[in-house]
Structure 1
Amino acid sequence: MINKIWNDIERGRFSPVYLLYGTEQYLLNETKQKMIAGALQEEELDFNLSVFDLEETPIEVALEDAETFPFLGERRLVFLHNPTFLTSEKTKSKVEHNTDRLQEYLASPVDYTILVIVAPYPKLDERKKLTKTLKKESVVVEAKPLTEQELKKWVADEVKILGVSIEEAALDLLLTLTGTNLQVVANEVNKLALYGGHQVSITTEMVDKLVARSIEQNIFILVDKVISRDIGEAVQIYYDLLKQNEEPIKILAILAGQFRLIYQVKQLTSKGYGQQSIGSTLKVHSYRVKLAAGQARAFTFEQLQKIMLLLAEGDYEMKTGKRDKKLIVEMFILKLA
C-alpha cells in the first residue's frame, strides 16, 4: 500500500490531506521527503513549505497557514507534527487546540494545500470522532514496524530497484546482523548494492564483509558461537568489542538482556504462544522472537536459570569491584561452555 502512495507522490498525484502515523521512523521520514521533492520546486521551499509542532502551536493557527494562498507557486505543503489530541496519551503541553476547526477543514479542504498530519504513535484513539473523520477524509500512511515477511519483501523490492538481487541466505544474514531497524537496513542495502556494482546478486560473503554490526548483534553472534561450542570465536568477538572501547559492564548487561529474552521466549513457547503473540507480550519485534526461539532450543530451563544466576553474580562482582571487569565477562563466556 505504501509503495502505491509513494508512486503517486513521485508522479505528482496528491490528495488534499494525508495522515502519517506509526513508529517506523524510516517510513515517516521517507514519505515526508518524497512529498517535499514531489510537491515543491527548490526555490519554493522558503515560501510554500510550513512545519508546525502541535505541542507548541494551536491547530487553528496551523490551519490559517494552510489556508493562505501559495506564493510564487501553485501549491503549499504544510506538515503538522505531534497531534496528541488524536491519542489517549497525556501530554505535558499546555497548548489548547480548537479541534472543531480541524473537523471543519476536513469537510472542505482548500485545493491549493497539501496538509500532512504526522502522528508518530503506535496507535490512535479510534473512539474519537476526529480520528474517525480524519481516517475517512485523508490518505492514510501507516508507518508500522514491518513483519519478518514484509521486511524481506521490502529488501527484495529495494535491491531490485537498485538493479541487483540478493540471495536468500544473504538476506537472512543481513537481518540477523542489522536487526529490524528499517533505516539501518536501508543504509546497508544501499551500501551492498553500490559495492556490488555490476555483480548481479548480493552474496553472504558480501554481507559478512561489509555490514556493520551493532554491539547487540555482536552479542547475538557471540551467544550463537557458544551454542555451537565455538568458544574460541566467542572469546574473540568479546576481545573485538573491547578493542572498540565497549565497556565490560555494558557487554554483560546486553548478554543478560539476550538470555532473559531467550528464557522468556522459551517459557511462553512452552505455554503454546505463537511468534506474533510472544512479540506482542514482550514488546519486541517478532523477528527477534524467532531468532531467540532458535537459540532457546539449545538450552534447558535449568541451564538458563543457572546462566541468569551467573550473570547476576557477574553484575554483583563488577559493581563491588571484587574482580577485574574484563575478566568477569571472559570467565562467564568460558563457563557457558
Structure 2
Amino acid sequence: MANAVWKKIAAGQIDPVYLLTGLEQHIFDTTVNRLKKAMPDLDEASLIRFDLEETPVEAVIEEADTLPFLQERKLIIAGNANFLKAQDKSREKVTHNLAMLETWLANPSPTAVVVFMAPYEKLDARKRITKIMKEQATVIEAERLQGKDLIAWIQQEASSIGTYISAEDAQLLVDIAGDQLLTLATEINKMGTYLNGEGEITASVIESLVPRTPEMDVFRLTDAYVAGRVPDTISIYHDLLRNGEEPIMLTSLIASQIRLMIHVGTLRKKGYHQQQIAKTLGVHPYRVKLMMENRQIPQAERLLVILDKLAEIDYKLKSTGGKRERVLELFFMEPLRK
C-alpha cells in the first residue's frame, strides 16, 4: 500500500526503482513529491521526465546510468509505461528495447531513482516484462481508496500537516466532500491552515469550511427520501436550492441514484460482492457500500414506480413555467410505501 512505501521514503529508505500503476493520479503526484522532499539536494537539473509513448525506454536507462552532476542521485520520472499493458502494436509510436530493460532492472543504477508510471486500470500480467518489473521494482498500486484505507489516508494527511482527525470525523469529511483524494487533500490543507497547523480537525471545523458537493448532497437527499425522512428530505432540498441548484438537474441526479439502487440490489441478489458490483457499474465502492448497508431502501418494484414519477416530474419541469421548485417539493412530501 502507498502509505507503507511513503513511510519508508520519509525515513530515507529510497529504492532505486518504483512502479506506480492505477488510475488515482493524486497518489502518483504525492509519491513524486515525497521523493523530492526526501532528496533535499535535488535540483531542477537532476529531475528528468520522459514520456515513454514518445521516447524509447533505452533513453531512460542511459540517463539513469549517467552520473549526476554535483548531486548524489537524480530523480527520473518515466511516464506512460505502455509496454506494461496490452496494446495494439500497430499503433505504437516507438519500439522499446525490453531485453535491455530486463537486464538493467536486475542491476539498476545506484545514482538514480527511476519512477515508472503506468496510469492504467490493469497491466498485462502475461508479459514477461510486467512480471520482472513487479519483482524488481517497489510497486505502488494507485487504486481509489475506500473504507478503512481511505480513513487511514485522511488521518495520515492530517498528521502530515500537524493536525489530528478522528476516524469518525474523517468519515464525515468523506460524506461531505466525496472520495476524490485530490479534493480531500485540498480540504485537509485548507483546514490545517485555518488551525495554524496544529490542533484537531473536528466536525464543526469540517461543517464550517468544507463545501458539500452537489452529488453528495443528492446522495443524502435520495437516502433521506427513500428512508421516509420527509423533514430531512425537505431541509436538504431547500439547502440545494439556496446553493443555486436547479430542480431539473436535481431530478436527473435523483433518478440516477434510484437506478443505481436498483442495479446494486439486482447484482447483490445474483451473489456479486461489493467490489464486483462497483466494477460492473463503474462507480466507487464506497457508494456501493453505503447502499448495501442501507436496509431502508425499498424493493425494486417500488423504486421503479419512483422512477416513473420522476420521469413525469421531469416532463412537467421542462414544459411548464411558474414555481418549478414546488413541483419537486410536492413529490418529496408524498408518502413512500415500501
Instruction: Specify if TM > 0.5.
Output: yes
Please state if 1:125 is matched with 2:124.
yes
Structure 2 distance, partners of 1:169, 1:7, is 24
Written as runs of structure 1 = structure 2, the 5 A alignment for 1:288-303 is 288-295=287-294, 297-303=296-302
Deviation at 1:216, TM superposition (A): 0.4
Please state if 1:216 is matched with 2:215.
yes
Superposition RMSD on alpha carbons, in Å?
A: 2.9
Q: What does residue 28 of structure 2 align with?
A: 28
Structure 1 distance, partners of 2:206, 2:187, is 9
Q: What does residue 13 of structure 1 align with?
A: 13
The range that moved more, 136-145 or 3-12, is 3-12
Structure 1 distance, partners of 2:316, 2:124, is 47
Percent identity for Structure 1 against Structure 2: 37
> Counterpart of 2:268 in structure 1: which amino acid?
T
Q: What does residue 260 of structure 1 align with?
A: 259
Written as runs of structure 1 = structure 2, the 5 A alignment for 1:69-218 is 69-90=67-88, 93-196=92-195, 201-218=200-217
Deviation at 1:239, TM superposition (A): 4.6
* SS of alignment partner, residue 113 of structure 2: strand
Structure 1 distance, partners of 2:166, 2:7, is 27
Structure 1 distance, partners of 2:3, 2:133, is 21
Deviation at 1:75, TM superposition (A): 1.7
Structure 2 distance, partners of 1:116, 1:199, is 33
The range that moved more, 71-80 or 309-318, is 309-318
CA change 1:268–1:142 in 2 (3 A) is same
Structure 2 distance, partners of 1:163, 1:52, is 35
Deviation at 1:170, TM superposition (A): 2.5
> Counterpart of 2:319 in structure 1: which amino acid?
K
Q: TM-score, normalised by structure 1?
A: 0.85
Structure 1 distance, partners of 2:314, 2:69, is 62
CA change 1:330–1:41 in 2 (3 A) is farther
Alpha-carbon displacement from aligned partner over 1:216-247 (angstroms, at most 9, x marks no partner): 01111222332454545534544544454445
Q: What does residue 59 of structure 1 align with?
A: 57
CA change 1:103–1:168 in 2 (3 A) is closer
* SS of alignment partner, residue 27 of structure 2: helix
Contact 2:19 2:133 in 1 (8 A): yes
Deviation at 1:26, TM superposition (A): 1.8
> Counterpart of 1:256 in structure 2: which amino acid?
A
Structure 2 distance, partners of 1:17, 1:281, is 33
The range that moved more, 219-228 or 29-38, is 219-228
Alpha-carbon displacement from aligned partner over 1:111-167 (angstroms, at most 9, x marks no partner): 211111011112211110001111111111222222301112223344345454434
Structure 2 distance, partners of 1:52, 1:332, is 56
Alpha-carbon displacement from aligned partner over 1:279-314 (angstroms, at most 9, x marks no partner): 233232222112223456232222200112223344
> Counterpart of 2:23 in structure 1: which amino acid?
T
The range that moved more, 282-291 or 188-197, is 188-197
Q: What does residue 3 of structure 1 align with?
A: 3
Alpha-carbon displacement from aligned partner over 1:64-114 (angstroms, at most 9, x marks no partner): 223322123222211111111101144855233232232232133222111
Contact 1:28 1:143 in 2 (8 A): yes
Structure 1 distance, partners of 2:233, 2:186, is 27
CA change 1:64–1:169 in 2 (3 A) is closer
Deviation at 1:200, TM superposition (A): 5.3
Contact 2:226 2:296 in 1 (8 A): no
Alpha-carbon displacement from aligned partner over 1:25-69 (angstroms, at most 9, x marks no partner): 221110011112222536x21x21111111222222333223322
* SS of alignment partner, residue 166 of structure 1: coil
Q: What does residue 319 of structure 2 align with?
A: 322
Contact 2:162 2:198 in 1 (8 A): no
> Counterpart of 1:182 in structure 2: which amino acid?
L
5+ residue gaps, structure 2: none
